[in-house]
Amino acid sequence: MRSTLLFLALLTCGIIQAQHSTLRFTDQAINLNQKSILIVPFESKMYLSDINKSLSENNNLTSNQIINRFTTAIDQSIYYAFQEKCTVNSFYGIEDTAVTADLNYVYDNLKLEYELVSVTEDKTKAEKLKAKLKKKEDNSYNRGQINNGEVITKADFRERYMKTVVTDQKMLDSMHFKFDNDYFLFVNQLDIKNDYSDMIAVQQGNFKRIVQLHYTLYAKDGAILTTGISKTAFSNHQNDINKIISENFPILAYQIFEDLFPPEEEGTSPKVNLKKSWK
């Protein structure tokens, strides 16, 4: 199932604008060193793109082919970012028929839901007491409703993660038995959006496109450890899918690596080679 990926020399993360944010579900340190991780790719319906028409026309690819290219590229990017720290298992290393059956089984035992990002700050004792006395903030995500046959939606600009929720522990046990993995890294959603926030750039026709990768990390015992988004930006003039992949996807994978493998000493950066040669 692997597609041929053309990898060019990459710029370092400091040169390319990139961001990532995470939401931890545990206060304990996540030690993945020398452990085994199984990458679970996103479902095709969880690919959301503003530029699919341009990609299809400029690369002579169908929508399914584009999704397959992106899925395998994410898998390879994470593999190259993580391989020196732990064992990475992938569904792409087994027969196609088995892949389909296993992935369908995994997807049947998952649900996806949005997790709102809450901004936390250091507060004084007085501020904390005042916060306790205030009415608890409603952090639920309002998807809208239908009233008298009319769809009513409410704009919600708060940042949200697409989070994986495992509905049956037996699925994790089954995959652990097959792959002997300690952790599951679920790739939940890939979205590519045109960034129209800079109106001057839009008028000049030189705006950015934002690519975001949503992910969730589970332990084999069913404990959810962290969920987050890695993201970076590229020019709206770039429609070469090979260059989009080679110049952006390793950065997305590296940001996840930074979340899961923090520096051992303050002020140091984790070592990862961003200049791997891909095939």
Least confident of 138-147, 154-163, 241-250: 138-147
Sign of CA dihedral 249, 210, 224, 271: positive
Residue 139, pLDDT score: 46
pLDDT at 30: 75
pLDDT at 185: 97
List, for residues 81-95, the tens digit of each pLDDT value: 999 999 999 988 776
Q: 215 lies in a domain?
A: yes
Residue 257 has pLDDT above 60, yes or no: yes
In the block, residue with structure tokens 């793109």: 49
The beta strands (E) that lie in 42-126 are given as 47-49, 87-90, 110-116
Could you give the 3-state DSSP secondary structure of residue 162?
A: strand
How far is the C-alpha of 115 from the C-alpha of 275, rounded, in Å?
A: 33
Residue whose pair of structure tokens reads 């395998």 in the numeric block: 72
**Which residue has better confidence, 97 or 260?**
260
β-pairing, 36-40 with 87-90?
parallel
Q: Does 174 reside within a domain?
A: yes
Q: Is the pLDDT of residue 9 over 70?
A: no
Q: Is residue 44 part of a domain?
A: yes
- As a whole number of angstroms, the distance between CA 206 and CA 182 comes to 45
The yes-or-no verdict on residue 226 having pLDDT over 80 is: yes
Start-to-end Cα distance in the chain: 13
3 state DSSP class of 174: helix
pLDDT, position 259: 85
Residue 232 inside a domain? The answer is yes
R_g over Cα of the chain:
20
pTM > 0.85: no
Q: What is the pLDDT of residue 143?
A: 44
pLDDT score for 37: 95
pLDDT mean across residues, the chain? 78
Can you give the residue range of the structural domain that contains 47? 18-116+141-260
CATH number of the domain that residue 241 is part of: 3.40.50.10610
Domain membership flag for residue 130: no
- Please give the tally of structural domains in the chain: 1
pLDDT confidence band for 58 (50 / 70 / 90): very high
Looking at residue 171, its pLDDT comes to: 96
Which pLDDT score is estimated for 275?
42
For residue 99, tell me if it sits in a domain.
Answer: yes
Q: Is residue 11 part of a domain?
A: no
Reply yes or no on whether the pLDDT at 250 is more than 80.
Answer: yes
User: Looking at residue 262, what is its pLDDT?
Assistant: 72
